[in-house]
Amino acid sequence: MILLLTGCINPNGMPFTALNNKEERQNQYVEALHFYLSQTSYPIVFTENSGTDISILFQKEIESGRMEYITFMGNQEKERGKGYGECEILKYALKCSKLINNSPDSRIVKITGRLIIRNINVILRFHKAIFPKNTVFFNINSELNFSDSRLIIAPIGFYYAFQKKGNEINDSAGYYFEHALLDTMKSEKRYQYSPFFLSPQIEGSSGSTGYTYEEVPGSLQFFVRYFKLAISQRYRFKKLYH
């Protein structure tokens, strides 16, 4: 598996973005990168789309081959919003990352780069052991019409397929990254969908709303309820779309 952390250190007035402070955002990315570098053993690709280079802070990890830092000037169509910018990041990483292109059979774990998923190791080990390699993991709402794009686990081929729908993303028109992700999953019959059977424990804040995530481990009752919900979501999705 490869961790792909997406980033935009300097949104420079991006619409629909509550957190625009460059220094605050940079600190959050640095903290998250240090977490994944110290708490996991997976290779990390950090791809950033505002042309901000802080790779000097991770020189040791980059030189050892553990981490790849990629930055480019994206967000040239700001009116389409940060969801389209996120899609551009995925495209650029697929095209330019040596770690990804040298591991064409790997699963890519896409994480919104400012967020820390405290139980990421347990999530990855559990889902890798239980489910076939063509499974795509992300969570969806109870109506099955909107996805959670903070954490996605999928084969590389799924991300290539996603780019087609990603070209349609336009936040101003109400078609978000989360819609494109779900629509790709509905149409790509070679992959099977699953929600996470373990609830991601996410820390950080939403770039869109500024809302602070403080998801902590739940009780046994919470685990059982969540597990049952995941089974139901998986069954309903398969019945409707596959």
Tens of pLDDT, residue by residue over 88-113, are 999 999 999 999 999 888 899 999 99
The residue that leads in pLDDT, 12 or 192, is: 192
pLDDT band at 207; cut points 50, 70, 90: low
Is the Cβ–Cβ distance between 82 and 14 less than 8 Å?
A: yes
- The domains found in the chain, sorted by start residue, are 2-241 (3.90.550.10)
The residue that leads in pLDDT, 15 or 164, is: 164
Which helix (H) or strand (E) segment holds residue 202: the answer is: strand 202-205
Q: What span, in angstroms and rounded, lies between the C-alpha atoms of 29 and 9?
A: 8
DSSP class of residue 78 equals: G
Tokens representing residue 86 in the block:
């996120």
Beta bridge partners of 205: 212
Beta bridge partners of 170: 175
pLDDT band at 35; cut points 50, 70, 90: very high
Is the Cβ–Cβ distance between 139 and 150 less than 8 Å?
A: no
Tens of pLDDT, residue by residue over 131-177, are 999 999 999 998 999 999 999 999 999 999 999 999 999 988 999 99
The DSSP code sequence of 130-148 is HS-TTEEEEEE-TTSS-EE
Q: Positive or negative, the Cα torsion across 176, 178, 179, 180?
A: positive
Average pLDDT of the residues of the chain: 90
Q: What span, in angstroms and rounded, lies between the C-alpha atoms of 141 and 143?
A: 6
Q: Give Cα 236 distance to the centre of its chain.
A: 23
Determine which of 13-22, 30-39, 180-189 has the lowest per-residue pLDDT on average: 13-22
